[in-house]
Amino acid sequence: MKTRTNFTKGIFASIIALTMVAFSADVEKKKVDVKNSTIEWTGEKLTGSHAGTINLQEGYLEFSKGKLVGGEFTADMTSINVTDLKGDNKKKLEGHLSSDDFFGVKNYPTAKFTIKTAAEKSNGVYGVSGDMTIKGKTNPIAFDLKVSDNTATTSLVIDRTKYDIRYGSGSFFDNLGDKTIYDEFTLNINLKY
C-alpha cells in the first residue's frame, strides 16, 4: 500500500512539475531598455506647476501568446530631475523633492510597480492593475497601458498622500493659501523593450 501511495504521489508531483514547465515556457519575459525609456512627471500647485523626469532603474514585461500578462518596474528615485527650472531654483526644488517632506530618497531610493492583472480592452490597449510602492508604502492602482511595436505607453495619476507624502497638502493642512500643492501628480511613461 505504501508503494502505491508513493507511486501516486510521484505521478502527481510529475504532473505539477510538467504543468509549471509548460506554463513558464509559454511566458516570454521582455526586458525594458532603460536607456531609451522615459518617465516624465508633472506636479501642480495653486500657483502653477513643475515638471521633470525620473530614471527607470530596471523593468520587464511578460507576454503569453503575444498578450501582456505581467511585468515589474523599478524607478531610481535618486534621479529626480526638474526640467522647468534652472540654476539655484532647480537645485532647491530637486533637493526638496528628495527630502523626507516628499520622497525621502535617502531611505527609499527606489519606487516599484508590479502588474498583478492585465486584460486586453481593445487592440493593444490593456487594462492593467497592480501594486505601486513609493516611500515604503504599497497601494493598488489601475490604468490603461497601450502596447505596440516594442513600446508600452501610459499616463497615470497618483495620489501622493496615499504614500504618506503630505507636505503642502490642503487635505491635511489648513491655511496654506497659495502655498497649497495638489495631492495628485501625473506620470507619462514610455517604455521601450
**Model pLDDT for residues 130-179, shown as the tens digit of each residue:** 999 999 999 999 999 999 999 999 999 999 999 999 999 878 877 777 78
Is residue 2 situated within a structural domain? no
Residue 54 neighbours by CB under 8 Å, 6+ apart: 39, 41, 75, 76, 77, 79, 80, 81
Cell of 3: 508503494
Counting Cβ atoms within 10 Å, is residue 111 exposed (0-12), middle (13-18) or buried (19+)?
buried
Question: Is the distance from CB of 125 to CB of 144 less than 8 angstroms?
Answer: yes
In terms of Cα–Cα distance, which of 46, 34, 167, 37 is closest to 98? Answer: 167
Domain of residue 179, CATH code: 2.40.128.110
Is residue 184 situated within a structural domain? yes
Is residue 163 situated within a structural domain? yes
DSSP string for residues in 90-119 = HHHHHHHHHSTTTT-TTT--EEEEEEEEEE
Q: Pairing relation of β-strands 110-122 and 151-159?
A: unpaired
What is the residue range of 48's domain? Answer: 28-192
Counting the structural domains of the chain, the total is 1
Global pTM exceeds 0.85: no
pLDDT tens for the chain, residues 1 to 193? 544 555 555 555 545 544 444 445 599 999 999 999 999 999 999 899 999 999 999 999 999 999 999 999 999 999 999 999 999 999 999 999 999 999 999 999 999 999 999 999 999 999 999 999 999 999 999 999 999 999 999 999 999 999 999 999 878 877 777 788 999 999 999 999 9
